[in-house]
Structure 1
Amino acid sequence: MLGLKGCLTILTGYAIAVCALFSSRGRNPSLTDWEKLKDQKILNIDSFGLTGHHLLEFFQDNLAFLGFSEGSYHHKHVSLYYDVFKEYILRRASSKKCLPVESAIAKLNKDVNPMPVHSHNDYWRKLPLFEGLAYGARSTEADVWNIDEKILAVGHNEAYLDPVELTLDKLYTDPLLEILDEVNCQDSDSDRKNGVFFNSPETSLFFYIDFKSDDNELTYKLLMQQYLKSLIDSGYLTYYDMKKNEIVWRPVTIVLTGNYPTSLEILDNGNDDGYFESYQRFAFLDAPLLSLEPKYSKLSVVTTVSFNQLMKHCGSDSWKVSLRGHMDSNEVTCAKSLIDDAHALKLKTRIWGAPTWPSNLVKTISHQIVHDLGSDLLNLDDLYMASSLI
């Protein structure tokens, strides 16, 4: 983290720049002057070498100064913090320079290793998508509702949707396309694609799309045709190769959850050769860990169970584990056998609903789930805590 001396140096530099504007013009700086100063400040942040949660902390600590021209932002929809941060992260992407080492991904997680964490209800975070990537979370999630049969709005409750600004493309698919284009610009035609983790470009980001609307067929159609098509055309989505009968991993892996369609007639758009007649299936079902079948090795890449369901299956429950402070050897053996069965089908595993308090219990259970059970993903809301636990 920046020390006191470093912060004072930065703020002193900003103060000098502001004073220079006042003295050179002999009047209050205009909006244009403020914009120029803002642009210079944001560009100078690159020289500090901040990444990961250190970059997030810097923006939060200096937001009052970084965002003084807030009239140009749409912060009523997400936040001023989000708008200023997004502008900084995507600035180089818009410059059309091909320099992956200075990309948005380099800014977000250059010194961060991917961690087996699912960013639960990611859209509730101060920085949807970007915060999870900054901490190295291997999985993210967006709840979607189809609005007026043409828009997929993101939100937890239908009463509080914003179909203009808080949409799947504006919060997730468009930024993903930009930052992936940026790190694949040197050889865009290559079959090998770099992903969203600087230290591990081969690691795929699991992107859970939680279907909330009743008409899941329409939601799926909108998802495929309007929101995922550009990522598909660019070769960024993991797919099931229907000819070779194998999974081909790419930078982003789409997992359908919630009220999703399960019929192959819908998933493949009525075609024997896939939705876009390419012999590829680009969306995978969230398989149930406690009732796995061999078919899921073709329909899924990940399987999910709640911690309480898992413990009940093993003759216990989450309350017993919480009171004891850890899973005992019988619980570990039983749960691990289920996860091993999933891995035998080449499925990753995700566990949600583990204890979230107190911190000592969270640390112990999280460590057991990841290291003793071997689960690939764990729901954790506090990403800062997660980065220190796993």
Structure 2
Amino acid sequence: MAVPCHSHNDYWRRVPLFDALHWGCIGVEADVWHFDDELYVGHNLASLTANRTFGSLYIDPLVKLLDSMNPSTEFTEATGHGVFDVDPDQTLVLLVDFKTNGRDTFLAVSQQLESLREKGYLSFWDGSKVNSRAVTVVGTGKTPFHMVVSNTTYRDIFFDAPLKAFWEHPKNSIAASNSNGGHRAGNGASLPASIEAASNQGKGATDDFASPNAFDTSTSYYASTSFASTIGSVWRGHLTPRQMDIIRGQIRGAKRRGLKVRYWDTPSWPVSLRNHIWHVLMKEGADMLNVDDLRAAAVEDWKRRTHD
């Protein structure tokens, strides 16, 4: 069964990619470093090894898996099946976090995707609409936005858009109507200056674009932001009215653009707080849980009350 969870730092798993697929996660993350015409996968330079490459951990296994899901035999000529047998139409999001120079890394990633591209396994934009396929590639980190959009008729690497830049006024402000604002600061539902500036300027993972209007389904797939930096600390296990306004305003702006909402850097401990935040985000319209504990997300542990 496919589960709306993103395997954070997937390359740290005992078996990268396959552990996530085992639990039904529809998103995995690979941090890539470009050196000597190769793409190495790891959280930092000290963790890189010669045998842990983008190709060996992700591209080659995906090609092999998808070939097995789309066999050509005397009985059938299967096409269009994704990685999940019980949900063949579900795409797998491969989030590629560019850790090195944007241009060179982008070209290397695009080149290594060719084995998936040539078999029709990559989601793509054809100049007028998005065609969903088995794997959807999303670039984040130092991904150069101008290279993502350089081809005006075909794109199969999408951008991780800056969710914090999409905040819109909620229809009914919780903070403005709630006189017991708890730990909220400022007046009404106004945003912190740093978030409001981001909303006005449209700055995200890279600075080579000018406006939030640059992001829609033709250029982007995810709209992501750090929960810790945009929403802040959660005191006494409850989000304040003002924090809820920020969440709802950001989700509203992303949905209007047709993008999938993902918050990273969410609280992981205590478990009761983690589960509460997961529950609130999904209830408010987030599309993907950014998780370290795959089992907890897969068995929907976050829907149950937990005592730490």
TM superposition score normalised by structure 1: 0.61
Q: Look up the match of 1:117.
A: 5
Q: Aligned in 2, Cα 1:257/1:328: closer, same or farther, shift over 3 Å?
A: same
CA distance in 1: counterparts of 2:266 and 2:226, whole angstroms: 7
Q: Matches of residues 133-282 of structure 1 in structure 2 within 5 Å?
A: 133-148=21-36, 150-163=37-50, 165-186=51-72, 190=79, 193-213=80-100, 215-225=101-111, 227-242=112-127, 245-263=128-146, 266-267=147-148, 279-282=153-156
Distance in 2 of aligned mates of 1:344 and 1:363:
27
Highest Rg: 1 or 2? 1
Say if 1:291 and 1:333 are closer, same or farther in 2 by CA, change over 3 A: closer
In structure 1, which of residues 281, 291, 296 is the aligned counterpart of residue 215 of structure 2?
296
Residue of structure 2 in register with 1:308 after alignment: 228
- Tell me the CA shift for residue 189 of structure 1: 7.4
Structure 1 stretches of 5 or more lacking a match?
A: 1-112, 274-278, 312-316
C-alpha separation in 2, matches of 1:175 and 1:338? 35
Listed one character per residue, the Cα deviations across residues 156-201 of structure 1 (whole Å, up to 9, x for unaligned) are: 11133112x10111111100011111111156574xx111122221
Matched, 1:337 2:249: yes
Q: What one-letter code is carried by the residue in structure 2 that aligns with 1:302?
A: Y
Output the aligned Cα RMSD: 1.8
Contact persistence 1:327–1:368 (CA under 8 A): no
Give how far 1:212 is off.
0.9
Hey, what does 1:324 align to over in structure 2? 236
CA contact (8 A) 2:260 2:286 kept: yes
> How many angstroms does 1:282 deviate by?
0.7
Equivalent residue, structure 1, for 2:286: 375
Q: CA deviation at 1:261?
A: 1.2
CA contact (8 A) 1:116 1:370 kept: no
| Alignment length (residue pairs) | 252
Give 3-state SS (helix, strand or coil) of 1:166's partner.
coil
State how far apart, in whole Å, the 1-side matches of 2:84 and 2:99 are.
29
Structure with greater helix percent: 1
- 1:7 match: none
Structure showing greater relative contact order (alpha-carbon pairs closer than 8 Å, 6 or more residues apart): 2
Runs of 4+ in 1 over 6 A off after TM superposition: none
Provide the rounded CA distance (Å) in 2 between the counterparts of 1:241 and 1:295.
Answer: 17
* Selected match of 2:277 from 341, 365, 388: 365
Q: Distance in 2 between matches of 1:232 and 1:305?
A: 29
Distance, in Å, in 2 between the alignment partners of 1:172 and 1:247 is 23
Within-5 A mapping of 1:85-124: 113-124=1-12
